[in-house]
Structure 1
Amino acid sequence: MADHYEVLGVSRDASPEEIKKAYRRLARELHPDVNPGAEAEERFKLVTHAYDVLSDPEQRRRYDMGGDQPFGGGAGGFGGFGDIFETFFGAAAGGGRSARPRSRRERGQDALVRVTMELRDVVFGVHRDIEVDTAVLCDTCQGSCCQPGTSPVTCDICQGTGHVRQTVRSLLGNVVTTQPCNVCQGYGTTIPYPCATCQGQGRVRARRTVSVDIPAGVETGLRLQLPGSGEVGPGGGPNGDLYIEVSVAHDDVFSREGDDILATLEVSMPDAILGADTTIQSLDGPVDLEIRPGVQSGDVLTIKGRGITPLRGSQRGDLRVGVHVVTPTRLDAKERALIEDFKKRTKAPGPQLAQFHQGLFAKLRDRFRNG
């Protein structure tokens, strides 16, 4: 087996650039389309195989340690059965059609941004300007990947096809295969002068602002899709999509159940007995509320149309206020006397067991759910 370094005419400590330069020179000289002789064809195969091994760091390391197989691999100079069938069916799949070069323009990746919003923003929806750190089109080359004033040039190895043909010996005879060109990486062109700003990628990382209208009725975990607002693709390719994941912050006063908003109203014992009119601050402004005489802890007062606008619809939910009657814990002598006199006059029964309840908060929860 010929030594790969000798085949390429380089020293064993040659750099990757020296190896690539040697391969390109020999490939131009020995390519079957340029030099159709049998001897040149055989050398071209050796040169290509040598470059395939030495251009890959891991394969080169194994080769330097004596682990490389002869050209074609396996016993007798033929590849294993997997290689034979891959070669055969790969060639057959070509069917005589010329392989097309890869495009440098590719679709960009999707991006995900998490946004935290207040419960009051869920009632009507909110407009947000969101800062996104992502890939954007390079202003210098506008996605061409080249320095301004320059352009890609046709690869002189594959002649712009992006692929080279190789003849491989197998149990089925000589099989011609088409493989991506190692010089241009299958693009069919090379970039002699890559853009210095984006390093020949056609895009750079940058922070940009995306405006989004978050609709009413969203809830934690919901994702909104903004088509075409994600990362720009390599080579100035089309943008991916941007996904906005919503998280609704905890509110100390209000909570949500479906499209309804829940709250707890503390009522003094005199107001619970006599009734009262009050004004409370809902999420979208003040609301007048009537407390009827004799209201009990756990009763629910419903204010229609003061809840959340549903995600798909226009009929708002309700504001449901659970009553919590507050019993005074500190009384002066006069107040205590008044309460004792009240107790005598009403002849209220003493404490006694009643129907079992799960407690005040369970009662409130059940009433909220059942209306």
Structure 2
Amino acid sequence: MGFRTLAFLLLTLSVGATAQSRGTGGGKPSVPTTPSTTNPSNVPSPPRLDTNRSFFLSGKVRADDGTPLTDAPTIQSLCKGRIRTEAYTDSKGNFSFEVSRLKERELGGVVGDAIDSSSSLDSRASQGSIINEWKDCELQALLPGFTSQVVELASRMQDFGNIDVGTIVLHRLQQVEGFTISATSAGAPSKAKKDYEKGREFQKQQKWDAALEKFGKAVELYPQYAVAWVEMGRVQEQKKDPSSARQSFHRAVSADPKFITPYQELAQLAFHDQQWQELLETTTEILRLNPVNFPQHWFLNATANYYLQHYDAAEQSAIKGIQVDREHRVPQLEQVLGVVLAKKHDYHGALDHIRKYLALAPNAADAEVAQKQAQELERLSAQAQSKQPN
């Protein structure tokens, strides 16, 4: 059975799951089918709506210590045990998203980033019933390294239109040293900040040369501008210059050693180049800074250990990743653990985790391969069982 070949296959298929902050230049985490915000700089008053159908929930997110949010927090709704991603904030921490009858009907199933399901709402519900449903909900913000204030909606859901839910405050986790926001951004001079923001505009427009020029000016004015170094590296990747990108990410690490994002980018480069020792060292540092928010990096750490033939370490990393991944966003952790256990001749344990992978990701691109792997493990497990003394 080609477990080594299969492990490489699962890595290839997992690039999307491991690239949290990778995109086409915008730098926002990629979450499939998640509603996006349409307010790049502030929250405008929404257009006049058919109040029989929809309303907006708007607000702001800030850190309790006033640190600028250089990464976009995710806004989630919590309704009767169901958690759903609704939007991201803009660069100033503002958010706004629409709720309509159509969306309410969708909440009955697994939609977008839904973690659990709730009973389907009556599609003929009145305006009042929709508001009443959302009165049972709460909002929170999600940003690695922070816990969120939970905002209840009961007292705020009075009428349709634009409903301001106020400010959601983020609090730093005490056991976490690393964050996806950089503390050095607050010290950037105004001219460097303007060059950075202009660079982001060009980046979103995929004007790579213009973006690179602006980011270059920003870091020239303020060499400690870690987020500008990161975006410069991302643009250099778009321009097919991984060597320069790697240098920029290292400059970001030097500028702010507790800023997680450049480590994540370096891990992706190491993964792409199959530099397993570099991947191991980079993900180990990520997990030292923040062991609780990044199951995808436990996966990469386990993978690096596997290819370096550190099978016990690979097993432990996969187990820790599964413990952290309570929402099962990285089902490949089960598969890589199965691969590692098979390598250690624990065929029964390997089979158990391959089956868990198939249960979590039945429609995965490699599901057929995993099925064949499970069949082979069944044979090997039975064979090993038959050799045991009675």
Range of TM-score over shorter length: under 0.3
| TM-score of the aligned structures, taking structure 1 as reference length | 0.20
By percentage of residues, which structure has more strand?
1
| TM-score of the aligned structures, taking structure 2 as reference length | 0.19
Larger Rg belongs to: 1
